[in-house]
Copies of this chain bind each other. A is one copy, B any other.
Amino acid sequence: MPYLPLEKHLPGITGLLEYRKDTAEPIRKLTQTLLRGASTLTEAEREMIAAIVSHNNECRFCTTAHTATADLLLGDRETMQKIKQDIETAPVSEKMKALLIIARQVQKGGKNVTEALVNRAKDAGATDVEIHDTVLIAALFCLYNRYVDGLATVAPNDPAFYETLAKRLVDNGYNRLPGGYDQLKNRIFS
């Protein structure tokens, strides 16, 4: 049971973003810019960062949503699973390994990002902006995970919910759609 009177058909972050729209708007804009804006990181790579941080924060709603989104963008269900098991042996580039490790350290706390880890990323070809964005995406999902779980929002069990949400995030990104999530209502709960 959420601690706030959220709309029953809007689980996880979706109900919170409709609860207070004036704070939701800059959260959406920041996420859209970081995860869907121009970048030398692919959308799948940026969703991997969101998913691994949510996983390490044990936020079930965000982990399942962003894993489904990364899976859809990648076209497979193994990569994200392997990243969660062990970044070092996962089938991603050396640059992405280094960036995912930085993200994992940010999740624990900012001071855990060492110069050695940043140098590893740079040696693997990461740019300053990629390192900046990795840290900020990781920090943003530390916000999301705490917002979602701190107010005890509901995480649906049905995988179809997350697949529908992932399709929305791939097709439309993070901006608010006209009518909020109303147009997803029937699709999500059909």
Contacts and interface: CB of A to CB of B under 8 A. Distances in A.
Interface of A: 1, 3-5, 16, 19-20, 22-23, 25-27, 29-30, 33-34, 37, 57-59, 102, 105-106, 109-111, 113, 115, 118, 128-129, 131-133, 135-136, 138-140, 142-152
Given A23-B33, A26-B27, A118-B3, A146 B135 contact: yes
B110 A150 contact: yes
A4 B132 contact: yes
B59 A37 contact: no
B147 A110 contact: yes
B136 A23 contact: yes
Contacts of A37: 22
A22 B32 CA distance: 11
17 contacts: A3-B131, A20-B129, A22-B37, A23-B34, A26-B33, A57-B109, A57-B110, A59-B110, A102-B150, A109-B146, A109-B149, A110-B145, A110-B148, A110-B150, A113-B152, A135-B150, A138-B150
Which has the most chain B C-beta neighbours within 10 Å: A33, A111, A118? A111
Given A20-B129, A23-B136, A142-B143, A152 B58 contact: no
